[in-house]
A and B are shown apart, each in its own frame.
Chain A
Amino acid sequence: MAQLELFFQTLISGFLLGGLYALIALGMALIMGVMRVINLAHGDLMMVAMYIAYGLFIFLGIDPYVSVFIAAPTLFLFGAGVQKFLLTPVMKVESILPHNQVILTVGLAMVLSNLATVLFTGNYRSVPVKYASSAWYLTDIWKDSPIELSLSMPWTLSFVIAVIITIALWLFLSKTDTGKSIRATAQDFDASLLMGVNVNRMRMLTFGIGSALVACAGCLFVPIYYLYPSLGRQFTNVGFVITVIGGMGSTNGAVIGGLILGIFESMTASYIGMGWAPVGRFAVFVAVLVFLPGGIVSILRKWRLGK
Chain B
Amino acid sequence: MNSFVLGKYIPLDSCIHRMDPRAKIMAMLIVLISIFFPVGWIGYGVLAVCIIGVVLLSKLRFDFIWKALKPMLFMLVFLLVLNVFVLKTGTLLFTIFGLSVYSDAIFQTLFIAVRLILMIMITTVLTATTKPLDLTLGIEDLLQPFQKIGVPSHEIAMLISIALRFIPDLIEETQKIMRAQASRGVDLKEGTMKEKIVAILSLIVPLFVSAFQRAEDLANAMESRGYAPGQERTRYKILKIKGRDIILLIGASCLSIGMIVIAFAV
Is B a genuine binding partner of A? no
